[in-house]
Homo-oligomer: A and B are copies of this chain.
Amino acid sequence: MVERPIGPVAVFGASNFPLAFSTAGGDTAAALAAGCPVVVKGHSAHPGTGEIVAEAVLAAIEKTGMPKGVFSLVQGGDRHVGAAVVQHPRIKAVGFTGSLGGGRALFDLCAQRPEPIPFFGELGSVNPMFLMPEAMKTRAEELGAGWAGSLTMGAGQFCTNPGISVVLDGADADRYTAAAKAALEATDPQTMLTDGIAKAYRDGKERFETRNSVRPVYTTPSEGRVANPNLYETTGDNYLQDHALGEEVFGPLGLIVRVGSVEEMVTLAKGFEGQLTTTIHMDAGDMADAAKLTPILERKAGRVLVNGFPTGVEVVDSMVHGGPYPASTNFGATSVGTMSIRRFVRPVSYQNFPKELLPEDLQ
């Protein structure tokens, strides 16, 4: 048995990663590593960058004598362009990073083809963090400031941005909130990558402003492409009753959920949809409580962390950047790390083959 390339792969450029996840980004690298030709559908947010990178790839193809058809870039912001790419009979799989709405539409097209093909979509996440009582007792301020730093990194334009903190209500929660607020106040205004991302961020903030279920802790207006941070808080009861509070706001917007007990944390955890990451902050004294959360959190996410912030995603063998729907459309896959190649290969069994006819890597 050997893994063989599955055929031409369509890769969709991501608005938030013009380099790491677009023309020559992770999906393209994984598909090429698997031995598959790549057709990139460039993102309309950065057509020029896409073009420059594509020219570099084409120059490399020429220099190394690779077949020219191994890479192409298709430009065009219209939805029909993307639809035509994923519906082409020669395309055998799709790699995508983007919004739930756009991703689900393409996923549906892939599933409805006469010959259905896999759609590997990474569709975002609120990346909840659970702050355990002993850790909060000893370092609520440090955790609050750390969260604010992770939340505002890259103007909050990371899929792994931790948008929600779940804490036990009380004095430690107050210290955490105050520290996060202070750190956000000290954050310089940041510029978002596109007008579309900036508008979606303002719309997301509007969603929070207009509901009684949340209390503003720190809010600042954002205009044009500038993104200022925003912080809200709510109770566990309100959170469970208002499904929209669990939807991703792409940008530096944080929500603190105050609960009455670790048991309520567990209830809240059970209610979360699929996530890219979930995080526990804990001290040694929190072990028994953390053990109640872990079996739930690992079912909800592709990566679970202890005492860290999820924003950074390392390209390593053990990385899983994916998770149950809607974090991704394919919970067995990762779009970052060595395992991302696995999406674009299929096993073939060679029975009783003479050595000369086997693929080179089997010989």
Contact = CB atoms under 8 A, between A and B. Distances in A.
Given A1-B339, A303-B350, 14 more contacts: A4-B299, A6-B331, A6-B332, A111-B111, A116-B329, A290-B357, A291-B357, A302-B346, A306-B351, A306-B353, A308-B351, A318-B349, A320-B348, A320-B349
A298 interface: yes
A304 interface: yes
A29 interface: no
A115 interface: yes
Interface string A318-361: 11100011100111101000010000011111111110110100
Given A294-B357, A318-B1, A357-B287, A332 B351 contact: no
A27 B248 CA distance: 36
A111 B351 CA distance: 33
A283 B351 CA distance: 16
Interface in A278-309: 287, 290-291, 294, 298-299, 301-308
B107 A298 contact: no
B354 A306 contact: yes
A7 interface: yes
A50 to B, nearest CB: 29
Given A294-B357, A306-B354, A350-B304, A111 B118 contact: no
B352 A306 contact: yes
A291 B356 contact: yes
Query: A-B pairs with the 6 shortest C-beta distances?
Result: A111-B111, A1-B318, A320-B349, A303-B349, A305-B351, A115-B325
A78 interface: no
A11 to B, nearest CB: 18
Contacts of A332: 6, 118, 345-347
Contacts of A329: 116
A108 interface: yes
Contacts of A112: 108, 111
B356 A118 contact: no
A206 interface: no
Contacts of A334: 347
One complex includes copies of this chain to the number of 2
Contacts of A299: 4, 7
Nearest to A293: B357
A304 to B, nearest CB: 6
A352 B305 contact: yes
A148 B339 CA distance: 44
Interface in A89-110: 107-108
A260 to B, nearest CB: 24
A362 to B, nearest CB: 11
Given A118-B330, A332-B347, A352 B320 contact: no
Contacts of A294: 357
Contacts of A349: 302-304, 318-320
20 contacts: A1-B318, A6-B331, A6-B332, A107-B111, A107-B116, A108-B111, A115-B324, A116-B329, A118-B332, A298-B348, A298-B359, A301-B348, A302-B346, A302-B349, A303-B350, A306-B357, A324-B346, A332-B345, A332-B347, A339-B347
A162 to B, nearest CB: 13
